[in-house]
Amino acid sequence: MANTYSQIYLQFVFAVKNRQSLIPQNHKEELHKYFTALVQNRKSKMLAVNCMPDHTHIFVGFKPVLSIPDFIKEIKVESNEFVNSKKWTNYRFGWQEGYGVFSYSHSHIGSVMNYVLNQEEHHRKKTFEEEYRDFLKKFEVPFDDQYLFEFFDK
């Protein structure tokens, strides 16, 4: 076969190191644009992005030009450097090690985009920790609570 065809939709969820609220509301749009450029530079398509103060969701039409771990590692490293270069916080910014990645069918694109874009509303009802555990349970991903999050006070 001369060409490669794929239809892969992935939602990535990752937290700020130590779960600190370091993503400033007034810079969300600029960070969303930066994430979109990072995704596009990796031949994928940004479908939805939303940065909360302590975590981020990106939903992409994934092109397998990189492995999933390489893709998200590059996204996190480059966005770390971007946020730190902007000096948006008084603290050194970094993403927590690890991430969640969840796959969806084409028929779920609209509902997942809506979910990602309406994070503020979702977090009025439940915390990020509750949301993340719900994802893992829904997708039947085995996990150990002690390895889910790194907190500032540990």
Full set of structural domains in the chain with CATH: 8-147 (3.30.70.1290)
How many whole angstroms separate alpha carbon 74 and alpha carbon 9? 18
Residue 31 has pLDDT above 60, yes or no: yes
Asked whether 149 and 75 are in contact (CB, 8 A), the reply is no
Range of weakest confidence among 16-20, 40-44, 86-90: 16-20
Q: Read off the pLDDT band of 152 (50, 70, 90).
A: very low
Q: Read off the pLDDT band of 94 (50, 70, 90).
A: very high
The pTM of this model reads 0.89
**Residue (of 13, 4, 19) closest to 98 by Cα position:** 13
pLDDT in tens, 37-83: 999 999 999 999 999 999 999 999 999 989 999 999 999 999 999 99
- At a CB cut-off of 8 Å and minimum separation 6, what does 90 contact? none
